[in-house]
Structure 1
Amino acid sequence: MRAIALMFMLLPQWATAGAAVASRTLPAGTVISAEDVTLAPDQAGGIEDITQILGQQLRVMVYEGRRIDPSALTEPTLIGRNQLVTLTYEKAALRIETEGRALSAGKVGQIIRVLNSSSRVTVSGRVAPDGSVIVQNN
């Protein structure tokens, strides 16, 4: 029995990669940057590659030294409520752009309602990666 225990002690130990932890207290809504996280080798389980979470937004507050759980992350909100946005309508060679006010917050690809500033009509559109809202064809 001692020989087996000695054999296990002599085998190389597997190194754990650690987990991403907050380097300072991060409030909910923070978009993660490189200065906000560090890799802690003493904490196992969680996100092992910091580049996976850069640019993600926190749903909840994470205190300094705490592990960042993948369930606490989401895509960043691109448009805030009451923010002025560009409304775009395209069909074939026709392109119409006007200004509107977002009635709700939205992420890329999400459908939100926008109040057209010139006509005062509420329309629905999909949030584009450039921050504009593309109005759908009815």
Structure 2
Amino acid sequence: MKWLLLLILWPPMAQAESLVATRLIRATDVIGAGDVVAHGAPAQGAAIRPEQVIGLEARVAIYPGRPVRLSDLGPAAVIERNEIVRMVYRQGPLVILSEGRALGRGSLGEQLTVMNLASRQSVQAVVSSGGLVEVIGSSGAIWGGN
């Protein structure tokens, strides 16, 4: 009886709140500190701490008052679609540089398709910094040869 009374009177444990958007966050917007606030009950897959989302990019539109789900966010892009990038191909001591056009957006470490401007061939590359991609593969055709 004493335990039952104690359990009834014991204050409930604080539950984590979900982060919700304070404004319309459009796809490709980078989330800042004022864009989210803790509110409401926890939602499945939603972030609970601002440091989990600040600096990430929205992959979809997130409406005001809606939970900010971690699956809707990703690293911010450093290369934009149609941006001219420097392509680097490395094989042993051989290093070849060329210019290409990014055919999509990409963040650090992401793979994207790049068209070599000289040969017009498309290749897969990994974003290594803003404006620089590392070509994947060993096709000589991408550099204008056969």
Structure 1: 5+ residue stretches without partners: none
TM-score using structure 2 length? 0.75
Quote the offset at 1:14 in angstroms: 0.3
| Contact 1:80 1:105 (C-alpha < 8 Å) held by counterparts | yes
Quote the offset at 1:30 in angstroms: 1.4
- Once the two structures are superposed, what CA deviation does each residue of 1:69-97 show, in whole Å capped at 9, x if it has no partner? 22322333332221111111123333332
CA root-mean-square deviation: 2.5
Q: How many percent of aligned residue pairs carry the same amino acid?
A: 33
1:116 and 2:116 matched = yes
Aligned to 2:104: 104
Quote the offset at 1:29 in angstroms: 1.9
Quote the offset at 1:24 in angstroms: 1.5
Please list, as runs of the form range in 1=range in 2, the aligned pairs for 1:57-72 lying within 5 A after superposition. 57-72=57-72
Please list, as runs of the form range in 1=range in 2, the aligned pairs for 1:23-38 lying within 5 A after superposition. 23-38=22-37
| Contact 1:56 1:73 (C-alpha < 8 Å) held by counterparts | yes
CA separation in 2, counterparts of 1:101 and 1:125?
A: 12
SS in 2 for 1:17: coil
CA separation in 2, counterparts of 1:83 and 1:21?
A: 33
Please list, as runs of the form range in 1=range in 2, the aligned pairs for 1:68-87 lying within 5 A after superposition. 68-87=68-87
SS in 2 for 1:133: strand
| Contact 1:30 1:58 (C-alpha < 8 Å) held by counterparts | yes
Aligned to 1:88: 88
TM-score using structure 1 length? 0.79
CA 1:56 to 1:100, structure 2 compared with 1: closer, same or farther past 3 Å? same
SS in 1 for 2:7: helix
| Contact 2:114 2:125 (C-alpha < 8 Å) held by counterparts | no
| Contact 2:126 2:136 (C-alpha < 8 Å) held by counterparts | no
| Contact 1:111 1:124 (C-alpha < 8 Å) held by counterparts | no
SS in 2 for 1:21: strand
SS in 2 for 1:8: helix
CA separation in 2, counterparts of 1:116 and 1:67?
A: 41
Structure 2: 5+ residue stretches without partners: 139-146
CA separation in 1, counterparts of 2:105 and 2:30?
A: 15
- Once the two structures are superposed, what CA deviation does each residue of 1:76-127 show, in whole Å capped at 9, x if it has no partner? 333222111111112333333222111233343333222222x233241322
Task: Point out 4+ residue stretches in structure 1 off by more than 6 angstroms.
Answer: none
Letter in 2 for 1:27: R
Count the aligned residue pairs. Answer: 135
